Chains A and B, each alone.
Chain A
């Protein structure tokens, strides 16, 4: 029994509200430090790629954005599922906070991907399986946000969009597999097969720093949004008085 108390406390809005406020700087500052360090390492210290020259440096913003798009969707779907099963308001608030963050980084991954594609493929848009999956993922995010905004009642929006998020996460691997399969059929032998040696540490370490930095950044933004979502879900609880007093 005792081991479950943390779970119950996580379901309590006032506890979450104050916890989120306290935790935010612990994620925000390390995120800033890691991203700045990763930028310096990626733009200055890392050597140019032997094939792509300095063009490969787009990876330091493209890969973290693409990673965010998937990781945020996972977080969203899992917390939506938790909210559905245990009827936890806070879990729904987490899911609702995730969507705009995920959608913005999915968009970013698409644009940086196509900016990377222009010098590599000679065209801004190539129906590359990864970019195509990313585009479909953006549609999934937009559908989720569209469904939420179409509903007045927060609880109904929470639970309906949660069903959609769970259905979506079942579909994400299927979409990815089908798109990869589709591309493998229609592709003439690839000009740019990425059979490349493992990245040297001077390239890899900045990338890892950026990935971790973006992840921490996501948590920090999520915590701020979460406080807003939790507040707007509480109609008349007395703890709000304390929370909003300046």
Chain B
């Protein structure tokens, strides 16, 4: 296992690369979900305002 983690001496380069890519992948998921949630929230608010204005 420690041999695997050592990556033949290249651990200092291999693992940060994989770590950064993981961060980018996760951030993309989080950002996309947050964008969707925010637009839904905003759309809901717009609808509520319109209903309020009608009555």
Contact = CB atoms under 8 A, between A and B. Distances in A.
A244 B13 contact: no
Secondary structure dominating the interface of A:
helix
Interface string A39-60: 0000110001000011101100
Interface string B15-53: 011101100110111011101111110111011001000
B36 A224 contact: yes
Nearest to A241: B47
A146 interface: no
Interface residues of A, number: 40
Contacts of A232: 39, 42-43
B10 to A, nearest CB: 4
A104 B7 CA distance: 26
Contacts of A243: 40, 43
Contact of A224 (B8, B25, B33, B47): B33
A100 interface: yes
Contacts of A240: 43, 46-47
Contacts of A118: 13
Nearest to A57: B14
A15 B7 CA distance: 49
Nearest to A112: B17
Contact of B35 (A62, A112, A228, A236): A228
B39 A48 contact: no
A61 interface: yes
A173 interface: no
Interface in A188-246: 217, 221, 224-225, 227-229, 231-232, 234-236, 240-241, 243-244
B40 A244 contact: yes
Interface string A83-110: 0000000000000000011001101100
A115 interface: yes
Contacts of B8: 48, 53-55
Contact of B39 (A35, A108, A231): A231
A53 B17 CA distance: 16
Contact of A115 (B7, B17, B46): B17
A179 interface: no
Contact of A54 (B10, B18, B38): B10
A231 B43 contact: yes
B10 A53 contact: yes
Interface of A: 35, 43-44, 48, 53-55, 57-58, 61-62, 65, 100-101, 104-105, 107-108, 111-112, 115-116, 118-119, 217, 221, 224-225, 227-229, 231-232, 234-236, 240-241, 243-244
